[in-house]
Structure 1
Amino acid sequence: MCGRLSQYSGIHDFVAALSMPNALINYAGNQPFELYNAAPSTQLALFHQEGQFLRADMVRWGWRPHWAKDRTAPINARVEKVAHGAFFKAIWPHRAIIVINNWFEWVDEGGPKKHPYLIRRKDRAPILCAAIGQYPNAEFGPSEYDGFVIITADSKGGMLDMHDRQPVTLSPELAREWLNPATPMERAEQMILLQGEPAEAFEWFKVDRAVGNVRNQQNGLINPISDSLL
Structure 2
Amino acid sequence: MCGRISQARDLMDYAESIGMPPDAIFDIMPPPRRFNVAPGSKVLGIHMLDGEHYTAEPMRWGYHSGWAKSEGRPADINATIEKALGRYWKSLWMHGRMIVPADGWYEWTGEKPNKQPWFIRPKDQAPMFIAAVSNWKPDPAERAEDAGFAIVTSASMGGMVDVHDRRPIVLTARDAMEWVDMSNSAEYAENLARTAALPSDAFEWYQVTKAVGSYRNDGPEMVKPISSDS
User: Given the two structures, how large is their TM-score scaled by the length of structure 2?
Assistant: 0.91
Q: How many residues align?
A: 226
Report if aligned partners of 1:66, 1:145 keep a CA contact under 8 Å in 2: no
Normalized per residue, the structure richer in helix is 2
Q: Which moved more, 1:196-205 or 1:213-222?
A: 213-222
The residue correspondences of 1:156-171 to structure 2 (distance < 5 A) are 156-171=157-172
Partners of 1:115 and 1:43 lie apart in 2 by 25
**Aligned counterpart, 1:9:** 9
The residue type paired with residue 99 of structure 1 is: P
Find out whether 1:33 has 2:32 as its counterpart.
Answer: yes
The residue type paired with residue 63 of structure 1 is: Y
Offset at residue 187 of structure 1 (A): 1.3
Offset at residue 76 of structure 1 (A): 0.4
Identity of aligned residues (%): 37
Identify the match of residue 73 of structure 2 among 59, 71, 74: 71
Gaps of 5+ in 1: none
Offset at residue 149 of structure 1 (A): 0.5
Offset at residue 218 of structure 1 (A): 2.3
The residue correspondences of 1:90-129 to structure 2 (distance < 5 A) are 90-93=91-94, 94-108=96-110, 113-129=114-130
Q: 1:177/1:134 Cα in 2 relative to 1: closer, same or farther (>3 Å)?
A: same
Deviations 1:176-222 (A, max 9, x none): 11111222222111011122110111111111110011111122111
Report if aligned partners of 1:100, 1:129 keep a CA contact under 8 Å in 2: yes
The residue correspondences of 1:168-207 to structure 2 (distance < 5 A) are 168-207=169-208
Offset at residue 22 of structure 1 (A): 5.7
Offset at residue 142 of structure 1 (A): 4.9
Report if aligned partners of 2:2, 2:78 keep a CA contact under 8 Å in 1: no
Partners of 2:181 and 2:87 lie apart in 1 by 23
Q: 1:28/1:105 Cα in 2 relative to 1: closer, same or farther (>3 Å)?
A: farther
Offset at residue 140 of structure 1 (A): 2.7
Offset at residue 141 of structure 1 (A): 6.0
3-state SS in 1 of match to 2:73? coil
Q: 1:116/1:131 Cα in 2 relative to 1: closer, same or farther (>3 Å)?
A: same
**Aligned counterpart, 2:42:** 43
Kindly report the root-mean-square deviation, in angstroms, between the aligned alpha carbons of the 2 structures: 1.9
Report if aligned partners of 1:27, 1:58 keep a CA contact under 8 Å in 2: no
Q: Which runs of 4+ in 1 moved over 4 A?
A: none
Offset at residue 137 of structure 1 (A): 1.8
